[in-house]
């Protein structure tokens, strides 16, 4: 089936052709007709499936004949990167439509956003906190809203945004169409769905399985040898661009510096960086200047970079859902990718859960000529410190 079968407005089809989309992906096939009929929808799809266009195309179709200069569609996104990216996709797909998409998120000047809003926008893609600031100040009004999209609802819930989302919902007084996208359905999201969606259609695409275009491999190693093994792996593997995940911001920063010192063009992406530093890292990685990006889960959420050849879990994620999200950046729409995980004996539970999910054992790989018996150096050889004694200070009355 082709995009023509949806009978989207010709100016929207111009954008589809411009971006080179020929065949709709399964989530697009399942969602676009239902959304065009005005139905509420639950889209259960992981990132990398084409879900952005699945809601952007029909919502633009709906807004084509609505008054301009008023917010007709609101997309709520968990992270700045995803908000920025979704607004970009809407801008590119809608270039011939005259519809304007603006991204709204914290960490940048409010005044700058006010200027863009004053120029007029029909589609707003926003992170919850900054959106609430604008709603309370009256710089955004939702009185003409027709379509609300809650994107990556499960991640929004993980990040503690559910109360903010409820506050935003209170600012929407008119009936509207609601679309909710999520890779998984935790109970709180299920509850929210019951409250705010009316007779929704559910479209479920490979809900909990990683794309088949991704190969998986485990590299068992001791914690203290992870960095050396990673360097060796990078040296021996033919990679284009590599996204490395660590468990903490500090580990992301430190590992990026260590890789940089070996001459690899490496950037880091984590929550301690400023918005412009993050943007530079993402852009540098997107254009291929940085070959390696070391990131934490939240920072990397939703970044859409083509041609990531390898995702490497320097630290295993805590849940299989997170594993799927991470590796959703490789093997995107018809491309092959590899997911490599450095694992220690502490990761046995996660590995078992992952193998159960994939319904197959994952191959364990030992690198030839790598000395797995090396003892820890320096700091790590010292005996562990005794636990610090807590000192309780009582306030004098």
- Which positions touch ligand AMP (CB under 6 A)? 21, 23-25, 28, 47-53, 304, 306, 332-333
Helix (H, G, I), strand (E, B) or coil at 395: coil
Write down the least CB distance from residue 362 to ligand AMP, Å: 24
Of 23 and 336, CB closest to ligand AMP: 23
Tokens 């603006």 correspond to 102
Cα–Cα–Cα angle for 94, 119, 180, rounded to 5 degrees:
50
Write down the least CB distance from residue 174 to ligand AMP, Å: 28
| C-alpha 68, offset from chain centre | 30
Write down the least CB distance from residue 396 to ligand AMP, Å: 57
Q: Which residues, including other chains, have CB under 8 Å from residue 382's CB and lie 6 or more apart?
A: none
Report the b/e string of 111-141 with b at 16+ CB within 10 A: eebeeebeeebbbbbbbbebbbebbeeeebe
Of 126 and 259, CB closest to ligand AMP: 126
Of 40 and 304, CB closest to ligand AMP: 304
Write down the least CB distance from residue 3 to ligand AMP, Å: 7
In whole angstroms, what is the distance from residue 38 CA to residue 395 CA? 60
By the 10 Å C-beta count (0-12 exposed, 13-18 middle, 19+ buried), 381 is classed as exposed
Of 52 and 227, CB closest to ligand AMP: 52
Are 70 and 63 spatial neighbours (Cβ–Cβ below 8 Å)?
no
Write down the least CB distance from residue 347 to ligand AMP, Å: 28
Of 181 and 219, CB closest to ligand AMP: 181
Write down the least CB distance from residue 302 to ligand AMP, Å: 7
Of 85 and 296, CB closest to ligand AMP: 85
């Amino acid at each position: 089936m082709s995009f023509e079968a949806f009978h989207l407005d010709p100016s929207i089809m111009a954008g589809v052709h411009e971006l080179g989309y020929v065949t709709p992906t399964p989530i697009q096939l399942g969602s676009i007709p239902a959304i065009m009929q005005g139905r509420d929808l639950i889209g259960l799809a992981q990132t990398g499936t084409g879900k952005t266009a699945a809601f952007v195309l029909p919502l633009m179709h709906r807004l084509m004949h609505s008054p301009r200069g008023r917010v007709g569609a609101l997309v709520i996104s968990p992270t700045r990167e995803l908000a920025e990216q979704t607004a970009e996709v809407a801008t590119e797909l809608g270039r011939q439509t005259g519809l304007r998409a603006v991204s709204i998120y914290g960490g940048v000047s409010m005044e700058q956003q006010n200027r863009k809003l004053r120029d007029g926008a029909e589609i707003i893609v926003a992170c919850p906190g900054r959106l609430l600031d604008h709603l309370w100040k009256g710089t955004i009004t939702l009185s003409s809203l027709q379509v609300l999209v809650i994107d990556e609802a499960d991640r929004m819930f993980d990040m503690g945004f559910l109360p903010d989302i409820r506050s935003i919902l209170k600012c929407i007084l008119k009936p509207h169409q609601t679309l909710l996208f999520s890779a998984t359905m935790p109970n709180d999201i299920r509850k929210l769905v019951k409250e705010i969606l009316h007779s929704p259609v559910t479209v479920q695409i490979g809900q909990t399985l990683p794309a088949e275009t991704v190969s998986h491999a485990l590299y068992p190693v001791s914690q203290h040898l992870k960095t050396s093994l990673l360097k060796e792996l990078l040296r021996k593997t033919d990679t284009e661009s590599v996204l490395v995940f660590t468990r903490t911001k500090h580990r992301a920063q430190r590992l990026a510096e260590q890789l940089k010192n070996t001459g690899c063009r490496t950037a880091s992406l984590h929550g301690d960086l400023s918005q412009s530093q993050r943007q530079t890292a993402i852009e540098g990685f997107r254009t291929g200047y940085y070959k390696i990006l070391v990131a934490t889960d939240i920072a990397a959420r939703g970044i859409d970079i083509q041609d990531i050849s390898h995702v490497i879990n320097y630290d295993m994620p805590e849940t299989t859902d997170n594993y799927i999200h991470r590796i959703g950046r490789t093997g995107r729409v018809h491309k092959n990718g590899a997911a490599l995980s450095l694992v220690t004996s502490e990761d046995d539970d996660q590995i078992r859960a992952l193998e159960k999910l994939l319904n197959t054992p994952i191959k364990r790989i030992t690198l030839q000529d790598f000395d797995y018996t090396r003892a820890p150096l320096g700091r790590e050889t010292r005996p562990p410190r005794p636990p610090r004694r807590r000192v309780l200070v009582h306030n004098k009355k």
